[in-house]
Amino acid sequence: MPKTMFEKVWDDHVVVPETDATPAVLFIDLHLTHEVTTPQAYTELRKRGLKLRRPDLTLATMDHSTPTRTEQVFGGVPIAVDSAAKQVKQLEENAREFGVELFNLQDSRRGIVHIIGPELGLTQPGKTIVCGDSHTSTHGAFGALAFGIGTTEVGHVLATQCLLQRRPKTFAINVINQLPRGVTAKDLILAIIGRIGVSGGTGHVLEFRGACISGLSMDERMTICNMSIEAGARAGMIAPDATTFAYLEQAPRAPKGDAWVAALERWKQLPTDNGATFDRSVDIDAAALVPMVTYGTHPGMVAPINGNVPAQGDAVFQKALAYMGLRAGEPINNVPVNNVFVGSCTNGRLSDLRNAARVLRGHKLAQGVKMLVVPGSQNVKRAAEAEGLDRVFLDAGAEWRESGCSMCLGMNGDLVPAGHYSISTSNRNFEGRQGVGARTLLASPETAAASAIRGRVTDPREFSSN
Amino acid sequence: MPAVKTIRSRTVVLPTSNIDTDQIIPARFLTSTSRAGFGKNLFADWRYDPAGNPKPDFALNKPEAQGASILVAGRNIGCGSSREHAAWALQDFGITAVVSTEFADIFRTNCLKNGLVPVLVDEKTHGWLLANPQAEVTINVESSTLALPDGTTVQFPLEGFARYCLLNGVDELGYLLSKNEAIARYEQAHR
């Protein structure tokens, strides 16, 4: 019987099949961990006298609460946020005690957990990958089944390398035609979320399909899968192909030699079979899209950059607009911008920084605009510096930092002041996400850079001659 | 994990849809390394003014909400981050069940892992609950039912295994550990 890619990966990892009464026991191939959602899991293991079952399948990094200021990372200046310093220390102790490989704060391989997994080549087609972070969906870009879990489940995986799971449903997102020039993968995923809604994917694993998706780079595919969770989906997946294999062939921890040849054979069997059926599907016409910007307090409140803030009657919508200080009918591209953030697991990879720099090159930030550029990993940082991208940002008046989650979630000292408009390449525009009272507008790196130059939301296609 | 059999309580109502986990517990409060004490920062940015004083018009701060342990929320409660701290914060505050027409996947899982009962109800029941804050309702885990004050009873979905864990205060780790042989066989076959 023809199978979807999700079904193949799922079936291959069932240790004990599900029944009406009990969920399946599912084996996990890769457990990525970080400092914020693991401390309580290690405490539980210690309390029960349990060991880490598979240190070889577990990797730890620090990213969420860690500072991005160079002096706090490398300069011996204490981490400004006390409780964050405690988490960093706790992770070091836990990693030592349980035998987990850890990229500590000064490690040259450190970075955001969803950036380094792919960089290392640990993220591979057909794997099951989990992490105590909802944006684990990012790794689905390689044809892995990757999803976020809570801390109790982190403990389950540490102790048993397995999870109890009910099989989710499947949802095909067919992206037909190609993106117009100047329209990015970020715009596409924002448009998809706008279309299916922030709970449109609940209970489902998305598979992004179609000619448009096949034409995307790995970085772009990761941006797409990263935000699957913003549509409520359990995971997002993209079929592995020549683009995937070319990316992984260069990666240090991907299989080598005979193991590589064998892996390729396996990976080529993964794409959804002809005739396989999905529980749901939707068609999205990429050719009809323009750059997208959010105007509200969840990622589904999104509009074309050349459009207006829509009008809607209900109280929740009114509350969101009041929080954002916007009026129905107001042009999106008129919204002032005080703060610009380029980075995060959504758009903190090298190509994202290149795209922002291409728009920004030779320009200065508008009067009063603050801009923070935070590479997704130390590797991305070095590669960007080797190309001189840091100079482009610094010359424009932006700040250039060490890697981390930074201003995506306001728990590491990088904050947007209350009432300020922040155009951000991250993934969530929830109230207070970037700081108490901060007003977040999600957009692509190109749109963020163009808006930094003008000091208001600006269509990056106005700078396309660059 | 505490065993939960029946919950009889007044409700407290937050009708907002898409209440994300950043509202339930903002990221800046996630830097604790223990599970305890998150309740004081539950809904921090909705509950307190910038000076840290409780906002009197926020549902959880109203005198009549004190002691209510059933939260009725708008649809798609718990979207966003996987932070289990959201479930811990609700529980630490004194919430024992959450009622909505839709739950975000990870949040629902996190609730069940902590003995916080996710009660999925139909639009009509939800509408009534939203319109009648402080209604005294009864949630029965064994029969997976919610009873309204007039005696009307609605069923909510709760699979056998999750119900067993709730009723007996058993967490799933023990069950997973009992599958050790099957896991070892799987590992052997997939070396």
Q: Domain for residue A37, yes or no? A: yes
DSSP at B55: P
Tell me, yes or no, whether A42 and A160 share the same domain.
yes
What chain A residue is nearest to B103 in terms of C-alpha separation? A202
- Confidence (pLDDT) at B171: 87
What are the beta bridge partners of residue B155?
B145
Of B30, B32, B182, the CB nearest to A16: B182
CB B65, CB B59: distance < 8 Å:
yes
Residue B105 Cα to chain centre, angstroms: 12
Q: Domain for residue A414, yes or no? A: yes
Tell me, yes or no, whether A299 and A448 share the same domain.
yes
Q: What is the mean pLDDT of residues A359-377?
A: 98
> Computed from CA positions of residues A424, A428, A434, A437, in that sequence, does the dihedral angle turn out positive or negative?
positive
Total domains in chain A come to 3
CB A409, CB A391: distance < 8 Å:
no
Question: Residue type for B164, please?
Answer: Y
Residue A442 has pLDDT above 80, yes or no: yes
* Mutant choice from A42, A133, A153 vs B, greatest count of B C-beta within 10 A: A153
Tell me, yes or no, whether A325 and A297 share the same domain.
yes
Run of H or E including A268: none
Check CB contact under 8 Å for B23 and A431.
yes
Q: Domain for residue A70, yes or no? A: yes
Question: Residue type for B41, please?
Answer: N
Check CB contact under 8 Å for A409 and B27.
yes
Check CB contact under 8 Å for A160 and B31.
no
Burial class (CB in 10 A: 0-12, 13-18, 19+), B76: buried
Of A20, A163, A198, the CB nearest to B160: A20
CB A207, CB A6: distance < 8 Å:
yes
Q: Domain for residue A159, yes or no? A: yes
What chain B residue is nearest to A131 in terms of C-alpha separation? B82
CB A387, CB A354: distance < 8 Å:
yes
- Confidence (pLDDT) at A83: 84
Whose tokens are 């991305």? That residue is A380
Tell me, yes or no, whether A271 and A303 share the same domain.
no
Tell me, yes or no, whether A118 and A213 share the same domain.
no
Run of H or E including A153: helix A151-160
What are the beta bridge partners of residue B139?
B7, B146
Check CB contact under 8 Å for B161 and A23.
yes
> Computed from CA positions of residues B77, B83, B85, B87, in that sequence, does the dihedral angle turn out positive or negative?
positive
Check CB contact under 8 Å for A15 and B179.
yes
Comparing C-alpha atoms, which of A84, A87, A105, A111 is closest to residue A39?
A: A87
Give per-residue pLDDT as tens, A317-343. Answer: 999 999 999 999 999 998 999 999 999
Whose tokens are 């009534």? That residue is B128
CB A126, CB A223: distance < 8 Å:
no
Tell me, yes or no, whether A297 and A201 share the same domain.
no
Comparing C-alpha atoms, which of B45, B26, B79 is closest to residue A437?
A: B45
Q: Domain for residue A250, yes or no? A: no
What chain B residue is nearest to A21 in terms of C-alpha separation? B160
Q: Domain for residue A260, yes or no? A: no
Q: What is the mean pLDDT of chain A?
A: 97
State how far the alpha carbon of A306 is from the alpha carbons of A309, A327, A331, A365, B107, in Å: 10, 16, 7, 22, 35
Tell me, yes or no, whether A450 and A400 share the same domain.
yes
Sheet strands side by side (includes A162-165): A14-16, A24-27, A162-165
Tell me, yes or no, whether A125 and A206 share the same domain.
no
Residue A268 Cα to chain centre, angstroms: 25
- Confidence (pLDDT) at A466: 44
Q: Which chain A residues in 147-206 lie under 8 Å from chain B, judged by CB atoms?
A: 148-153, 155-156, 159-164, 166, 168, 198-199, 202-203
Tell me, yes or no, whether A326 and A198 share the same domain.
no
Residue A84 has pLDDT above 90, yes or no: no
Q: Domain for residue A94, yes or no? A: yes
Helices (H) and strands (E) in chain A, counts: 17, 19
**CB contact A86 to B (< 8 Å):** yes
Give per-residue pLDDT as tens, A43-58. Answer: 999 999 999 999 999 9
Tell me, yes or no, whether A297 and A440 share the same domain.
yes
**CB contact B80 to A (< 8 Å):** yes
Domain of residue A55 covers: 5-165
- Confidence (pLDDT) at A465: 58
Q: DSSP 3-state assignment of A303?
A: strand
CB A452, CB A360: distance < 8 Å:
yes
- CA A24 to CA A15: how far, in whole Å? 7
Contacts of B73 (CB under 8 A, 6+ apart): B13, B14, B15, B16, B19, B98, B99, B100
**CB contact A64 to B (< 8 Å):** yes
What are the beta bridge partners of residue A256?
none
**CB contact A322 to B (< 8 Å):** no
Residue A438 has pLDDT above 60, yes or no: yes
- CA B42 to CA B93: how far, in whole Å? 7
Tell me, yes or no, whether A156 and A281 share the same domain.
no
| Chain B residues closer than 8 Å to A202 by CB | 76, 102-105
> Computed from CA positions of residues A453, A454, A458, A459, in that sequence, does the dihedral angle turn out positive or negative?
negative
- Please give the ipTM for the structure prediction: 0.96
- Please list the helix, strand and coil fractions of chain B in percent, rounded to the nearest 5, in that order: 40, 20, 40
Q: What is the DSSP string of A92-152?
A: HHHHHHHT-EEE-TT-TT-B-HHHHHHHHT-S-TT-EEEESSGGGGGGGGGT-EEEE--HH
Which domain CATH number covers A365?
Answer: 3.30.499.10
- CA B52 to CA A251: how far, in whole Å? 49
**CB contact A24 to B (< 8 Å):** no
Could you tell me whether strands A24-27 and A14-16 are parallel, antiparallel, or unpaired per DSSP bridges?
Answer: antiparallel
Which tokens go with A457? Answer: 């939301």
Question: Residue type for A242, please?
Answer: A
| Chain B residues closer than 8 Å to A167 by CB | none
**Angle subtended at Cα A372 by Cα A371 and Cα A374, rounded to the nearest 5 degrees:** 155
CB A357, CB A351: distance < 8 Å:
no
Which ranges of chain B does DSSP label H, i.e. alpha helix?
21-24, 44-47, 85-93, 105-112, 123-131, 160-168, 172-177, 180-189
Run of H or E including A160: helix A151-160
Which domain CATH number covers A227?
Answer: 3.40.1060.10
- CA A396 to CA A414: how far, in whole Å? 20
Domain boundary pick from A287, A320, A345: A287
CB A294, CB A440: distance < 8 Å:
yes
Q: What is the mean pLDDT of residues A221-237?
A: 98
Residue A257 has pLDDT above 90, yes or no: yes
Instruction: Please list the rounded mean pLDDT of every run of 10 residues in chain B (191 residues).
Output: 94 97 95 91 96 96 95 97 97 98 97 97 98 97 98 96 94 94 97 82
Q: Domain for residue A258, yes or no? A: no
Give per-residue pLDDT as tens, A133-185. Answer: 999 999 999 999 999 999 999 999 999 999 999 999 999 999 999 999 999 99
Tell me, yes or no, whether A356 and A222 share the same domain.
no
Sketch out chain B's domains with CATH numbers. Answer: 6-189 (3.20.19.10)
